[in-house]
Amino acid sequence: MSVVTTQKHDNILVIVSNNPPVNALGAAVRQGLVDGIDEALSNEEVEAVVIRCDGRTFFAGADITEFGKPMKGPDLGEALDRLEASSKPVVAAIHGTALGGGCEVALACHYRIAVPSAKMGLPEVKLGLIPGAAGTQRLPRVVGAKAALPMIVIGNPISAAKAHAIGLVDKIVGEDSLADDAIAFAREQIGKAPARSSEGTENEDGVKNPSIFDEFRQKNNRKIRGFEAPEAGIQAVKAAGELSYADGVKKERELFRKLMAGTQAAAMQHYFFAERAANKIDGIDPKIDLIPIKTVGILGAGTMGGGIGMNFLSAGIPVTIVELKKEALDRGVGVIRRNYENTAKRGRMTEQQVEDAMSILTPSLSYEDLADCDLVIEAVFENMDVKKEVFTKLDSIVKQGAILASNTSYLNIDEIAAVTKRPEYVLGLHFFSPANVMKLLEIVRGEKTADDVLMTAMKLSKKIGKVAAVSGVCPGFIGNRMLSPRQEQANLMIMEGANYWEIDDVLLEFGFPMGPFQMSDLAGVDIGWHRDPERIETLRDALCAVGRWGQKVSKGFYDYDQARQRTPSDEVKQIIAEFAAKAGKEQRTISKDEIRERLLYPMVNEGAKILEEGMAQRASDIDVVWINGYGWPLYTGGPMFWADTVGLEKIVVGLKKHGLPVAKLLKTKADAGGKFNG
Ligand code: 3HC
Ligand code: NAI
């Protein structure tokens, strides 16, 4: 059966697409739409048209798998022009998510009706693109430039109610009566002149008040810095006010083509599929029976325990949190409440939602209260003896069949699992700080972890809004293991004469939110310090001894002013110079290129080793980890994709030039002219 069919309801022709899973607008669908409109126009009995989709959603966009391949059949732009030109009114009936090209289909229709749960958006910018089927020209003409800007330049979908409020949707209809309501609505439009989006006049706001564009740039500077597509989006929306519709469409095409040919779009499309691939665990049937997780226990209400708990509370899953002492418990619970209240103050949560989340939190000082939990996550001190003791105790108390997880950053999960009688139910769930905010979850697969346990954790991660990737057991897993060589090079280079702020700046220029020394200041230079100011063995000891504990005391590697602006410190420079002199390190000027290569190439090398050892299932999983857990810039596609774009041969040459080791897999791939991804 064709993916697009038509049904005639008296004088209304309903064009229905059924192209699972998300009704992507592939060649067959585009052809089907054109054929459907031709049928409506050539059949005299037909007086109005409805376009709707079967399955879980209205068109969720162009078919991304077709990108980069020769175009087959009509292009979406042409198809939509034919649709809009129809002399008979056309109504889009929207459910699920009308995204990208799907939103553009809706815009080309003369009217749009939607169910309350529907969402609409132009997320192309998240794929390094802008809408390419006249969305940037039609949308501002319908809702105005000001309302169009966030949709096109930031790309988050909006609710049906919001779409209605800004004039993008004409009517909200019943959740379960979309098909019938659409036909009735279409019937009401018969005889009226079709409302063509390309002829709308709302775009005048951008001409009358052109400062909205600069204001928007400034307001969103942090979100769009480094990305090419957002600026193209702003220019396209601006053009929608300044140029004729036909010229605006030409401008959009030009901008779209340029982005599509660039590396950022390739990188971001790589990431789109990488994130989805990371959900798949080699050798495990995705349909395997899962373990129901109705209640979660957390051990330790410190920095991590509290944040981890919030993820579950926010998803409506009851949490029991256990501490050793009342003060620690009260402090932990207090922090959770304060975090929620701050979110509410910023308008991102209602007071009721805060209370709802807090009402399903049970603070406790007794391990016994964890007995009935389906999953217990341990977040106590990072010490193997402590972890072993805790897991022995948990194993004896928590019901059989429940999963026991550790949030350890570095320790060996197999060794922890071995103290229990249920190693197949033990795994690592490595959250990142702040755990209620950071997207990444590394799921650490122990030697004995059972398939259903692993898959349960994977599915649960989606429920709590995390992006997950599976790692094998090795020190630091995927993320921290790759951080180590970068840190090592950073420390070496400041002893060889590079300024520490230059090292941070190189990473900032590359697109990281901060460099290693800023990170150290933020986390606290004194973390793990022995607290004896007389004992000075390392640079950290020296900084801590003079009270340079980091941002919390306004001085660490940098001096901080009240606005938390950093300035390099002469005192620190002096301390570093003394250490370098003591070690007899020759000082030299180190170029930015060398700094970048020595920071990033060893990470790629470590990534290759991780792959070689089978600690990551695929190179793209490593990209997912670094983009979501460590701020690796999305527009480069992650360390392994970036390495592919640099060229593996060049990386090997660079590593050798700096006297650094080259992993076997990296060398083999480089010699063969190969890539990590694809
Ligand atoms: N093209 C091709 N495949 C797509 C796709 C698309 N646009 N959108 C989703 N898929 C695939 C996914 O890869 C996944 O495949 P898999 O099962 O083999 O891994 C499957 O559909 C289901 O997707 P999700 O796992 O993401 O399902 P969810 O229910 O969580 O989310 C969604 C659904 C919100 C629609 C989400 O898939 C999404 O955001 N899709 C992308 C939307 C988008 O970016 N559209 C714009 C495309 S660019 C464009 O339209 C250009 C135009 O202007 C010319
Ligand atoms: P923390 O010191 O802030 O909190 C640990 C809490 O555990 C303390 O409140 C302590 O009272 C409690 N505790 C200790 N022993 C206990 C026991 N036997 N029973 C119950 N409670 C106990 O430490 P943090 O930072 O939260 O780290 C916890 C774990 O998470 C460690 O394994 C750490 O490596 C890991 N981790 C930490 C990250 C971070 O950025 N802080 C990031 C990712 C993982």
- Short-list 382, 396, 332, CA closest to 358: 332
Is the distance from the beta carbon of residue 49 to the nearest atom of ligand 1 less than 6 Å?
no
Question: Residue 476 CA: which ligand is closest?
Answer: 2
pLDDT value at position 528? 86
Helical (H) or strand (E) element with 215: helix 211-219
pLDDT value at position 1? 63
551: CA distance to ligand 2 center in Å? Answer: 21
Which of 311, 380, 396, 413 most suits a substitution to test ligand 2, by most atoms within 8 Å of the C-beta?
380
Tokens representing 649?
A: 């041969």
Measured from the Cβ of residue 246, the count of other Cβ atoms closer than 10 Å reads: 10
Q: CB–CB of 59/105 below 8 Å? A: yes
Q: Name the strands in the sheet holding 296-299, side by side, starting at the edge strand that comes first in the sequence.
A: 361-364, 319-322, 296-299, 375-378, 403-406, 426-431, 440-444, 467-471
Q: Range(s) for CATH 3.90.226.10 in the chain?
A: 4-261
Which residues make Cβ contacts (< 8 Å) with residue 672, sequence separation at least 6? Answer: none
633-646 burial string, b = 16+ CB within 10 Å, else e?
Answer: bbbbbbbbbbbbeb
Is the distance from the beta carbon of residue 263 to the nearest atom of ligand 2 less than 6 Å?
no
Torsion angle in degrees (nearest 10) through CA of 131, 132, 137, 140: -10
Residue located nearest, by CA, to atom 52 of ligand 1 = 101
Which residues make Cβ contacts (< 8 Å) with residue 632, sequence separation at least 6? Answer: 511, 512, 623, 626, 638, 639, 642
Residue located nearest, by CA, to atom 47 of ligand 1 = 61
Is the distance from the beta carbon of residue 304 to the nearest atom of ligand 2 less than 6 Å?
yes
Asked, as a colleague might, if the bond just before 434 is cis with ω within 30 of 0, I would say yes
Which of 22, 137, 249 most suits a substitution to test ligand 1, by most atoms within 8 Å of the C-beta?
22
- Short-list 87, 85, 132, 92, CA closest to 109: 92
Q: CB–CB of 457/403 below 8 Å? A: yes
Q: Which ligand 1 atom lies nearest to the CA of residue 280?
A: 19
50: CA distance to ligand 2 center in Å? Answer: 57
Is the distance from the beta carbon of residue 381 to the nearest atom of ligand 2 less than 6 Å?
yes
408: CA distance to ligand 2 center in Å? Answer: 9
Half-sphere exposure of 304 (CA within 13 A, CB side): 19
Residue linked to tokens 């701050």: 342
306: CA distance to ligand 2 center in Å? Answer: 10
Is the distance from the beta carbon of residue 132 to the nearest atom of ligand 1 less than 6 Å?
yes
Asked, as a colleague might, if the bond just before 21 is cis with ω within 30 of 0, I would say yes
Q: Range(s) for CATH 3.40.50.720 in the chain?
A: 296-475
Half-sphere exposure of 625 (CA within 13 A, CB side): 29
Question: Residue 66 CA: which ligand is closest?
Answer: 1
Which of 321, 381, 481 most suits a substitution to test ligand 2, by most atoms within 8 Å of the C-beta?
381
Tokens representing 127?
A: 């794929």
Decide: residue 228, CB within 10 A, 0-12 exposed, 13-18 middle, 19+ buried. buried
Cα-flanking dihedrals φ and ψ of residue 326, to 5°?
Answer: -60, -45
Residue located nearest, by CA, to atom 33 of ligand 1 = 22
Residue located nearest, by CA, to atom 36 of ligand 1 = 60
Q: Which ligand 2 atom lies nearest to the CA of residue 380?
A: 7
**Which residues is 51 bridged to in the sheet?**
15, 92
Q: CB–CB of 131/110 below 8 Å? A: no
pLDDT value at position 345? 97
Over the chain (678 residues), the average pLDDT of each successive run of 10 is 93 98 97 97 98 98 92 94 97 98 98 98 98 98 98 98 98 98 98 96 96 97 95 98 98 97 97 97 94 98 97 98 98 98 96 97 98 98 97 98 97 98 98 96 98 98 98 98 98 97 98 96 92 93 96 97 96 95 93 98 98 98 98 98 98 98 98 94
319: CA distance to ligand 2 center in Å? Answer: 17
Is the distance from the beta carbon of residue 409 to the nearest atom of ligand 2 less than 6 Å?
yes
pLDDT value at position 529? 92
Question: Residue 105 CA: which ligand is closest?
Answer: 1
Residue linked to tokens 């002013």: 561
Is the distance from the beta carbon of residue 136 to the nearest atom of ligand 1 less than 6 Å?
no
Q: Which ligand 1 atom lies nearest to the CA of residue 279?
A: 19
**Which residues is 559 bridged to in the sheet?**
555, 567
8: CA distance to ligand 2 center in Å? Answer: 64
- Short-list 366, 370, 369, 373, CA closest to 317: 373
Is the distance from the beta carbon of residue 133 to the nearest atom of ligand 1 less than 6 Å?
yes
CATH class of 4-261: alpha beta
656: CA distance to ligand 2 center in Å? Answer: 40
DSSP letter for each residue of 543-593: HHHTT--BGGGTBSSEEE-TT--EEE-HHHHHHHHHHHHHTTPPP----HH
Is the distance from the beta carbon of residue 123 to the nearest atom of ligand 1 less than 6 Å?
yes
**How far is the C-alpha of 109 from the C-alpha of 94, rounded, in Å?**
11
**Fold assignment, 499-582:** N-(1-d-carboxylethyl)-l-norvaline Dehydrogenase; domain 2 (1.10.1040)
Q: Range(s) for CATH 1.10.1040.50 in the chain?
A: 499-582
- Domain 296-475 maps to which CATH number in 3.30.565.10, 3.40.220.10, 3.40.50.720, 3.90.226.10? 3.40.50.720
Give residue 103's Cα distance to chain centre.
22
pLDDT value at position 678? 78
3-state secondary structure 344-400: HHCCCCCHHHHHHHHHCEEEECCHHHHCCCCEEEECCCCCHHHHHHHHHHHHHHCCC
Q: Which ligand 1 atom lies nearest to the CA of residue 65?
A: 2
**How far is the C-alpha of 177 from the C-alpha of 49, rounded, in Å?**
17
295-325 burial string, b = 16+ CB within 10 Å, else e?
Answer: bbbbbbbeebbbbbbbbbbbeebebbbbbee
**Which residues is 321 bridged to in the sheet?**
298, 363
Strand 319-322 and strand 296-299: the pairing is parallel
Active site residue ranges:
104, 124
DSSP letter for each residue of 428-448: EEEE-SSTTT--EEEEE--SS
